[in-house]
Amino acid sequence: MSKIRFTEPNREILARRDSIINDLTRLVDPAGLITSTDECRAYETDALTAYRKMPLAVVLPKTTEEVSAVLKYCHDTGVKVVPRGAGTSLAGGAIPSEDAVVLGLSKMNRVLAVNYDDRFIRVEAGVTNLSVTAVVAENGFFYAPDPSSQLACTIGGNIANNSGGAHCLKYGVTTNNLLGVRMVLIDGSIIDLGGDYLDSAGLDLLGLVVGSEGQLGIVTEATLRILKSAEGARPVLFGFPSCEGAGKAVADVIAAGIIPVAIEYMDKAAIEICEAFAKAGYPLDVEALLIVEVEGSDAEMDATLADITAIARANGATTVRESRSAIETAAIWKGRKSAFGATGRVADYLCMDGTVPTGKLSYVLAEISKIVQRHGLRVANVFHAGDGNMHPLILYNANDPSQQSKAEAAGDDILRLCVEVGGCLTGEHGVGIEKRDLMRYQFDDADLVQQIRVRAAFDPRWLLNTDKVFPLDFRCQG
């Protein structure tokens, strides 16, 4: 197995394990310090389970001050720290190393303030994405970014990965919906970036922090923009006899300047998997399906839908079906949002996260099929088509080591393809350990050096989430 390399653990740190744990007992509540082998094991991986490393220890602080104390200690004594939200990363963003302390935010899950007049909510970083909307929904508000793992994933993790989701086509991703953060730097200092309003003064450091994968500091609180829900929303299913037709329809809708709330794509394999789980009424006699959601007043939805339907028909759509009830709408989205997990019913998978220009969707879809076939595997495609964020699920058998390496090789080929057509390695899942070694394909050395300098300005000792994002042999050049 295991194409992805890990650095050798620092033996000096391993030798000091007992004294480090002893010191940590003074810094966090006893219920928030995990040191036994069995209990640490629960933290050895995230949703990229092909890779696992036991951490030195796990701390689950309850306050920003505790986070600060732990980081300061780790900084002063040279101990690595791996931040963790809900551990839902598909790119191994929360996978530890043997000489690192995992710092989990799961106990910091309080809502701190809701302000409807100024349209913001302030939460601790361990609050889950969906529970933010749950808090404000009774007043008709919502938080826009909605990654498929929104039930479980945390706001802290969303900020680290600049997470998107189905509805980001219209409302933007995390960086467009985040107003401010409280963050602890590796030396323990606590800083506030941004504020309770859009576009704060000074350098856009908040923009820098979003998507930095836990390498610049640990966000403990966030102020998020909340939006008033539209009058109505209606998902419509468009079935196509060919993947190319569906891909072309997406490109044409975007090119026509129409911005629905969401355009989601599923190929036949994904439709069958999701329908079996959610019983959403997805058409089973088509090769590709688009779930297009429009919102607004009835007249507005009717008008937008007429335009989209005309484009879909022109590209060969054979099925056009609107959701007729709230229950049906919920089932349509449940099926889509559970797609990855539901795939687990039929096979193990590696989930890719490349982004391509929408005009290239049809070409890339066809090429992905060829790549995966060449490696002797199967693929299911289910993704955010409207913003070209592809999620090919490469299906394989995790108990067969040769299939594991084939799946990884196919994944690398797909991501290279995304870069070649003018896209990028990651839309929203982050680089993590998974795409670390492909970064050179996306960036030249000068670009990478510049990024590493930024990172070093925040964490000069290279202690935060160390083995992620940048190629392992590259950091020393920083």
Partner 1 sequence: MQTNFSLTALADAHVSESEKILRACVHCGFCTATCPTYLLLGDEADSPRGRIYLIKDMLEEEKPATPQVVEHIDRCLTCLSCMTTCPSGVHYMHLVDHARAHIARTYTRPLPDRLLRGMLAKVLPFPGRLRLALRVATVSRPIRKWLANLPGGAQLAAMIELSSSFKRRRPTRRLPGATVDRPRGRVALLSGCAQQVLGQNINEAAIRLLTRHGIEVVQPIDEGCCGALVQHLGYESRALDAARHNVDVWTREIENGGLDAIVVTTSGCGTVIKDYGFLLRNDNAYAQKAARISALARDITEFLHELPLQDGVRTTGQVVAYHSACSMQHGQQVRDQPKSLLRRMGFVVREVPEGHICCGSAGTYNVLQPEIANRLRARKVTNIEKVKPQIIASGNLGCITQIGAGTRIPVVHTVELVDWAMGGPLPDVLEGCLG
CB atoms within 10 A of CB 9: 16
Q: Which of 294, 289, 227 is nearest to 260 (CA)?
A: 294
How many Cα atoms occupy the beta-carbon half-sphere of 287 within 13 Å? 12
Of the candidate residues 38, 117, 199, 444, the single one contacting partner 1 (CB under 8 A): 38
Tokens 């026509």, residue located: 256
Sign of the C-alpha dihedral computed for residues 314, 240, 380 and 328 taken in this order: positive
35 within 8 A of 12, measured Cβ to Cβ: no
Q: Name the DSSP letter for residue 372.
A: H
Q: Does 26 bind partner 1 (CB under 8 A)?
A: no
Q: Does 93 bind partner 1 (CB under 8 A)?
A: no
| Contact stretch for partner 1 (CB under 8 A) within 198-206, 340-348, 379-387, 412-420 | 340-348
CA 292/CA 302 separation, integer angstroms: 13
330 within 8 A of 233, measured Cβ to Cβ: no
Count residues binding partner 1 (CB under 8 A).
Answer: 41
Q: Does 341 bind partner 1 (CB under 8 A)?
A: yes
Q: Per this entry, what is the length of the chain?
A: 478
Nearer to partner 1, 28 or 305 (CB): 28
Contacts of 384 (CB under 8 A, 6+ apart): 164, 165, 166, 168, 169, 262, 263, 264, 265, 391, 427
Of the candidate residues 43, 141, 142, 171, the single one contacting partner 1 (CB under 8 A): 43
Q: Does 137 bind partner 1 (CB under 8 A)?
A: no
CA 90/CA 147 separation, integer angstroms: 12
Task: Kindly tell me the number of DSSP H helices and DSSP E strands found in the chain.
Answer: 17, 18
Q: Does 49 bind partner 1 (CB under 8 A)?
A: yes
Q: What are phi and psi of 453, to 5 degrees?
A: -65, -40
Of the candidate residues 199, 299, 325, 399, the single one contacting partner 1 (CB under 8 A): 399
Of the candidate residues 345, 444, 446, 476, the single one contacting partner 1 (CB under 8 A): 345
Q: Does 466 bind partner 1 (CB under 8 A)?
A: no
Of the candidate residues 137, 152, 366, 419, the single one contacting partner 1 (CB under 8 A): 152
Tokens 């084939």, residue located: 406
| Contact stretch for partner 1 (CB under 8 A) within 12-20, 81-89, 219-227, 367-375 | 81-89
Q: Does 97 bind partner 1 (CB under 8 A)?
A: no
Of the candidate residues 83, 87, 194, 432, the single one contacting partner 1 (CB under 8 A): 87
Q: Does 30 bind partner 1 (CB under 8 A)?
A: no
Nearer to partner 1, 185 or 347 (CB): 347
- Give least dist CB 110 to partner 1, A: 11
Q: Which of 269, 429, 267, 283 is nearest to 347 (CA)?
A: 269
Nearer to partner 1, 55 or 247 (CB): 55
Of the candidate residues 149, 177, 212, 355, the single one contacting partner 1 (CB under 8 A): 149
Nearer to partner 1, 104 or 423 (CB): 104
Task: Tell me the two tokens of residue 96.
Answer: 């530890």
- Give least dist CB 225 to partner 1, A: 23
Of the candidate residues 128, 161, 358, 362, the single one contacting partner 1 (CB under 8 A): 128
CA 143/CA 228 separation, integer angstroms: 9
Amino acid 63 reads T
Which parts of this chain interact with partner 1 (CB under 8 A)? 31, 34, 36, 38-39, 41-43, 45-47, 49-50, 60, 86-88, 104, 106-107, 109, 126, 128, 130, 149, 151-153, 277, 338-345, 348-349, 398-399
